[in-house]
Amino acid sequence: MAEITIRKRPRTEAVVTQRKFFKKTARGKVIKVLRERYLRDDVACGIHSCGLCAHEQDVLLPSSGSFEHASFANNGHFVLPDTNVFLSQMDLMESPLFSPPIILLQTVMEEVRHRSLPLYNRLKALVKSDDKKIWIFYNEYRSETAVIREEGESPNDRNDRGIRKATAWYNNHVSLARPPVRGQAKPPLPTIVLLTDDVANRQKAEKEGLTCMSVRRYVEGVKESGQLLDLLSAAGSETIEPTQAVAARQALYPDYLPMATLLAGIKSGQLHQGHFNANQYNYLEGSVSVPAFEKPVLLIGREHMNRAVQGDIVAVEVFDEKDWKAPADEVVDQEATLKNDDADDSEEEGEDDEALAERKVLQTELAKQSASSKQPTGRVVGIVKRNWRSYVCHIDSTSLTSTNSTSLSQQTVFATPVSRLLPRIRLRTRQAPALIGQKILVTIDRWERTSRYPEGHFVRALGKVQSKEAEQESLLLEFDVPYRPFGKAILDCLPPEGDNWVVPPKSETDPNWRDREDLRDLIVCSIDPPGCQDIDDALHARRLPNGNIEAGVHIADVSHFVLPDTPMDHEAAARGTTVYLVDKRIDMLPALLGTNLCSLRPHVERLAFSVIWELSPEAEIVNVRFTKSVIASKSAFTYEEAQVRKDDPKMSDPLTESIRLLNDLARKLKAGRMAAGALNLASPEVKIQLDSSESSDPIDVEQKELRETNSLVEEFMLLANISVAGKIQETFPQTAVLRRHLPPPKANFEKLQDILKKRRGMTLDVSSSGALAASLDRCVDPNEPAFNTLVRIMATRCMLSAEYFCSGSVARDTFGHYGLASPIYTHFTSPIRRYADVLAHRQLSAAIGYTSLHPSLHSKSHVERVLEVVNKRHRMAQMASRASVEFYVGLALKARSEKETVIEDAFVIRAFRNGLGVFVSRLGIEGLVTFKREIQFDADNYVITIPAGEQPVSIAVFDKVKVMVEVEQDKNTQRGRVVMSLSHPIDSRGM
């Protein structure tokens, strides 16, 4: 038994035993924080078979360090990195090739955490990973290495001193741990190498007789230095611009204001904070939505965008109203304008050809501004938070100076991101020739004010362009979808019976049956798209003796398997949603649950969460109850099968009757909803027909078909969601997980209203969702049935997106769902593929007294945090699926265009000064038709006129045209892209 003694520490030692610091809270108060510190003599050094330290844990560091480095091949070494190494060279540290034994000081960890939380999290993950040898040394708690701040010493100096002291201690410790044995040669002592990019710290360390190196010098001595040097971030190297003096270069961008000034400006309302959105048509333009203005703040030109990258949170200064401008109406392509820019010397002067070309573009636009559509205009004065991540790019082959594939010389090249919203990235690599034609991952390191482009470094190659694997992975990376397989800790949360798990036989004592209703005899069936494996909903309906109808929606009881605060729950919360790509599904929950145990497959007993209504024959809710249940689905239909069965007059079995009854009710429910002002929205949806599961070459693209039975399922899901939303909101008014759709600001519709009015003489009433629905119904062109759909698609784009929220966080009157015209709504019906539903299940289960609510769901801040992640994942998942469809549409087009010229009907949806935006409804894609020749553009009436011989051709928005669609491989970037040209009313090729 260890003896416990408590020794009161005298106050006279407070300088040593207490660490005091001040903290400024978010509300502006200053508080003093006091931490006790106990210095010990038994903080272990972590070196294997060290004679002085008693190690209880697994020791990670080999006893004589690593011999892998050229400078320390004889005696071995350990690396002790300074904070700046982790702050700027995290990619290097994470590389599997970089594997010397590392001593990580507590001082360094704390400084990293203080400087950057994301980096700190990466560092923590790094420490845990198996392939690294990292030992955390708690130097602030070991009596020999603890330091006290001197009078007048800056915190940074104090930390540097602590790091040097720890290095010295380690060196000393290593020699003490290896006492010379008489009669034997003294063994070579391993060296502790202080790795730092701080020159001052290096000089001081050298003065104290410590071995230290800059990261670059160290990496140059490592065996695989070639690949590792590429990982070095630009920020850490002093030698990236060897030829030019820094001072001589002209600044292209204004300086950022210091952070504190920005925050002060934002607080005082003189600056505005928001997310930077690049314009995908014009790389010289961006916008920032800020709460102070109804319209987003426009940023025109490089200087005003001032190095902001898509997604960054920026602070903008808004100009006086007389300087406000309208967004440009021209397509400006980065590649076309800047094709001559040379990666190596694009820095040299501000007034080179490219800059002039850009200026010209901007000037021609300004000259033709129409006065009507001005919006707030401003400039970026600082970045509140960078949201840089890794971007999927292609190497621009023209920027290579040497294409000799054996050349290993370092070159500066351009990487063009796949996303049109991002600028080109400059990077230096030795592997440039090998990377041509590959998709690669690139991280931005910095963007100096003297450099037109951001500088980055190569992270890894994803594979050949156009190969399915590379495209798929790049898509997942691009949209930040977590796609790693589920780890062991998560799989351990599954029921141990695995596939063989069944609902146990009914008994009073079985916990699975506790408070569950036995609904196995009900005639329940599920209706889903063909090939659906994760069936999360099933339905039933039957007539009651009193003339009313009982209808039930049965949802897979996922919360029975996914318990709160388990690794599986955390993972599901982090994934947020299942992502559906054309040829792949990235599950939110392990497949055993998603496609088997929770999936309400036919003819097996499954646990369910049921919502059961008593409805009057007019589909009015008489009564609703919620219960956990056990069901046995009688059949799993596809929409088509269900439709056929319902329409077949010969069938009259109970199952068919049940479907007819449901359908009947659904029609009435829908009519009721429409009368209340629900919108019938449209978004382009196409289906990719895959040949077979092996070769996933698409055969064709077809538009999704909607049947009556789709609407049947939808109506009941809506009804269930609304009923559940009401119940959980009532029980947990502070933390209920709900979903809302805010009414769009009227300004969003202005443009569409204007176009409709001028082109078609139609009006759009946006005063309420009901009025909008009615006026959308009137937007019909008798000759063109697709016109109405087009208007609906365009109206949908003017709206905001729906979002999950925590009921206690927003005002009660903003709960409504605009699109559904429902005062309250949530998601309850797809817990297998959406995490918000799982939360709703838990809350409903607590609301009916089946379980108690996990404390985390009582915490508003926790629910808010989870929902924020879910909202983001949800958005990303949608974009990822859309991008996946687009990729396959591209493949299909490519296949088709090899056989024939692809000509499709299209609608003009936008007019630019030098082109048209068109929408091809049959393919569900949007494209651009650009004209090189001068054309006339009437911005007020949305008409362009193409001078072609005697008969100029005018084309206006909403006109139907025929376009020729080609897939063209961009020669520079290897990026496959859809190119469109007009074929009717005029052939625009060569124009």
Binding residues for other proteins (CB under 8 A):
11-16, 18, 20-24, 28-30, 32, 34, 143, 148-151, 154-155, 158, 254, 257, 260-265, 267-268, 270-271, 300-304, 317, 319, 323, 359, 362-363, 366, 379, 381
Residue number, 319 or 483, with CB nearest to other proteins: 319
Least separation in angstroms between residue 122's CB and other proteins is 25
Please state, in angstroms and rounded to a whole number, the distance separating the CA atoms of residues 735 and 738. Answer: 9
Q: What is the CA radius of gyration of the chain?
A: 32
* Torsion-angle region of 503 (φ positive above 0: left; ψ -120 to 50: alpha; else: beta): beta
b (16+ CB within 10 A) / e for 747-777: ebbbebbbbbebbeebebebeebbebbebbe
Residue number, 204 or 865, with CB nearest to other proteins: 204
Residue number, 140 or 478, with CB nearest to other proteins: 140
State the CB neighbour count (10 A cutoff) for residue 67: 15
CA angle, residues 573, 579, 585, in degrees to nearest 5: 120
Residue number, 270 or 814, with CB nearest to other proteins: 270
Least separation in angstroms between residue 158's CB and other proteins is 8
- Please name the residue that has the structure tokens 């209703």: 517
Residue number, 262 or 863, with CB nearest to other proteins: 262
Please state, in angstroms and rounded to a whole number, the distance separating the CA atoms of residues 58 and 76. Answer: 21
Least separation in angstroms between residue 197's CB and other proteins is 23
Residue number, 381 or 688, with CB nearest to other proteins: 381
Residue number, 22 or 499, with CB nearest to other proteins: 22
State the CB neighbour count (10 A cutoff) for residue 131: 7
Residue number, 144 or 708, with CB nearest to other proteins: 144
Please state, in angstroms and rounded to a whole number, the distance separating the CA atoms of residues 731 and 14. Answer: 51
Least separation in angstroms between residue 285's CB and other proteins is 12
How far apart, in Å, are the Cα atoms of 827 and each of 43, 273, 709, 720, 855? 51, 31, 20, 9, 21
Least separation in angstroms between residue 142's CB and other proteins is 12
The residues pairing with 738 across neighbouring beta strands, listed in sequence order, are 805
Least separation in angstroms between residue 176's CB and other proteins is 18
Least separation in angstroms between residue 29's CB and other proteins is 5
Nearest to 268 by CA among 214, 315, 210: 315
Q: Which strands sit side by side in the sheet containing 191-195, from one edge to the other? A: 134-137, 102-105, 77-81, 191-195, 211-213
Least separation in angstroms between residue 259's CB and other proteins is 9
Residue number, 129 or 143, with CB nearest to other proteins: 143
DSSP states of 451-483 as a string? -SS-EEEEEEEEEETT-HHHHHHHHHHHTT---
Count Cα atoms within 13 angstroms, Cβ side, for 281.
18
Q: State the virtual CA torsion across 12, 16, 18, 19 in degrees, nearest 10.
A: 140
Least separation in angstroms between residue 361's CB and other proteins is 12
Q: How far is CA 747 from the centre of its chain?
A: 28
Least separation in angstroms between residue 379's CB and other proteins is 7
Surface-to-core class of residue 215, CB atoms within 10 Å of its CB (0-12 exposed, 13-18 middle, 19+ buried)? buried
Q: What is the crossing angle of helices 835-847 and 567-575, to 10°?
A: 130
The residues pairing with 325 across neighbouring beta strands, listed in sequence order, are 375
Q: What would the two tokens of residue 272 be?
A: 């505005």
Q: In sequence order, what are the residues at sequence separation of 6 or more whose Cβ sits closer than 8 angstroms to the Cβ of residue 316? A: 271, 272, 273, 274, 288, 290, 297, 299, 378, 379, 380, 381
DSSP states of 887-916 as a string? HHHHHHHHHHHHHS-EEEEEEEEEEETTEE
Residue number, 267 or 778, with CB nearest to other proteins: 267
Least separation in angstroms between residue 110's CB and other proteins is 12
Q: In sequence order, what are the residues at sequence separation of 6 or more whose Cβ sits closer than 8 angstroms to the Cβ of residue 722? A: 822, 824, 825
Q: What would the two tokens of residue 931 be?
A: 């004209």
- SS3 category, 695: coil
End-to-end CA distance of the chain: 90
Residue number, 238 or 349, with CB nearest to other proteins: 349
DSSP states of 477-516 as a string? HHTT---PPP-HHHHTTS-TTGGG--PPPP-SS-GGGTT-
Least separation in angstroms between residue 349's CB and other proteins is 14
Least separation in angstroms between residue 151's CB and other proteins is 7
Residue number, 300 or 790, with CB nearest to other proteins: 300
Residue number, 300 or 393, with CB nearest to other proteins: 300
Label the pairing between strands 455-464 and 425-429.
parallel
**Which spans in 318-424 are helix H?**
334-337, 353-367
State the CB neighbour count (10 A cutoff) for residue 219: 24
Residue number, 369 or 566, with CB nearest to other proteins: 369
The residue type of 69 is: H
Q: In sequence order, what are the residues at sequence separation of 6 or more whose Cβ sits closer than 8 angstroms to the Cβ of residue 147? A: 140, 158, 161, 162, 165
Residue number, 155 or 504, with CB nearest to other proteins: 155
Q: Which run of H or E residues covers position 194? A: strand 191-195
Residue number, 151 or 497, with CB nearest to other proteins: 151
Please state, in angstroms and rounded to a whole number, the distance separating the CA atoms of residues 790 and 318. Answer: 35
Residue number, 263 or 574, with CB nearest to other proteins: 263
State the CB neighbour count (10 A cutoff) for residue 715: 21
Least separation in angstroms between residue 112's CB and other proteins is 17
Residue number, 302 or 554, with CB nearest to other proteins: 302
**Pair 826, 721: CB distance under 8 Å:** yes
Q: What would the two tokens of residue 897 be?
A: 């265009």
Least separation in angstroms between residue 15's CB and other proteins is 4
